[in-house]
Amino acid sequence: MIESVTFTRRRVQRDQLGRPVTDRYGNDIYTDVTFVVPNCSVEPRGTSSEENDQQQHVETGLTVFCGNPAVDVHAPDRATYAGLTYEVDGEPARYTGSRFGNDYAQINLRRVTG
């Protein structure tokens, strides 16, 4: 596994004392936090298309295999790969305890256009 994938997670913005920052209406203000996951391998998944309300939608997907099964990636996160932004599709599958020592995490990504 030789690639690195950049992920982005939305988090509540906090002040110097660790309290959530809110707008004038009392709603939390969010900020995007970017982090890089090394030791990955990226493979394409299938492409599908459908037409809704006379608009063509195309869904493409990638599967990311990470060498660290405890990688801190979750369903609401987004990934950037090859200049395109994908959504994490579900929670990562984590495989551990193999007698061959090939523990890893599998992260499914999807991108819908149209």
Q: What is the pLDDT of residue 2?
A: 86
| pLDDT for 54 beyond 90 | no
- Which tens digit of pLDDT belongs to each residue from 82-103? 999 999 999 999 999 878 878 9
Q: Is 85 helix (H, G, I), strand (E, B) or coil?
A: strand
Q: Is 8 helix (H, G, I), strand (E, B) or coil?
A: strand
- Which tens digit of pLDDT belongs to each residue from 60-78? 899 999 999 999 999 999 9
Q: What is the pLDDT of residue 100?
A: 80
Q: Is 106 helix (H, G, I), strand (E, B) or coil?
A: strand
The arithmetic mean of pLDDT across residues 25-37, rounded, is: 94
Rounded Cα distance between 52 and 42, Å, is: 30
Q: What is the pLDDT of residue 50?
A: 67
Quote the tokens at residue 107.
Answer: 């992260």
Task: Report which DSSP code applies to 14.
Answer: B
